[in-house]
Amino acid sequence: MQRWQKDLVGYAFISPWLVGFVVFTLGPFLTSIYWSFTRYNVVSPPVWVGGANYAAMMRDPVFWSSLLLTVKYALVAVPLGIALGVGLALLLNVPLRGISALRAVFFVPSIVPAVATTVVFIWLLNPQIGLVNSVLGLFGVHGPAWLREPTWTFWSLVMMSIWTVGGTMVIYLAGLKDIPLHLYEAALIDGAGTWQRLRHVTLPMLTPVIFFNLVMGVIAAFQHFTQPYMLLLQQAPEESTRLLAVYLFERAWRYLDMGYASAMAWILFVIVVLVTGVLLRTHKRWVHYGS
């Protein structure tokens, strides 16, 4: 069989994926570029308006407040998730009986659908009948209205993100298992204590995994949608739940302003690319690779 025939057979096997990619990913991706320069309400043909959507976005106070809230969420939730993920991985990286079951307990919340997790948290954080305030009441502490006060609503979103830290914990565990034992043996010979081994061996060797989770966490934070949108539907304060992805969804499907929403999507895309680029430029200074 000639080479081109073999290639044709290979493309035939992957054609369902290629068709799906072109129709559902590449096509909408390219179409949104055009829509971002138009006024389009879905029911009428798009009308070219040039850069009017981008100019209006720069004057939109809701856009700026949503962007600042998203940046604040990323700055708080991502580092906190990394710290807790590494801490959990270190605690669960010990050869004890039943440790595998304990790892599974921490991992399971990360595979629960976000909608189900949010519904559970809405009940847990209910100021009248919620479990959290009930437990606080046992210690004489009057719990706040978690999902009614802007400050506490923001921290509720952060808590929900921490709830799924088990997913990254598994990646950190894999990274810990990959650290060569001879490095710890050399450190012990040099008289290094537990803290010194953690600081000079474990964390430096774990930085590639930390960097990976940092980049993925930042990208996910800027696209965070399900939980804040569900809280917004529960009449939570808009100033603490309308993240940029939520505002984009509202402009697209509540107001049918697809042109403006497409422009927002491209601004979000550019922001994520720039932030990721900055992180990639800095990784040589603190990420330690074994080679």
What is d(CA 84, CA 166) in angstroms, rounded to the nearest whole number?
9
pLDDT digits (tens, 9 = 90+) for 277-289: 999 999 888 998 8
pLDDT digits (tens, 9 = 90+) for 124-182: 999 888 999 999 998 888 889 999 999 899 999 999 999 999 999 999 999 999 898 89
Global pTM reads 0.91
Mean pLDDT of 31-53: 94
Question: What ranges in the chain are assigned the alpha helix state H?
Answer: 3-21, 27-35, 52-58, 61-91, 99-107, 114-124, 131-138, 150-163, 166-177, 181-189, 194-197, 203-222, 226-233, 238-241, 244-249, 258-286
Domains and CATH numbers, the chain: 53-286 (1.10.3720.10)
Q: Which residue type is seen at 181?
A: L
Q: Where are the beta strands (DSSP E) in the chain?
A: 38-39, 47-48
Residue 290 has pLDDT above 80, yes or no: no
pLDDT of residue 291: 57
Instruction: Decide if 156 contacts 146 (C-beta within 8 A).
Output: yes
Provide the Cα torsion 218, 250, 68, 39; round to 10°. Answer: 100
pLDDT > 70 in the chain, percent: 99
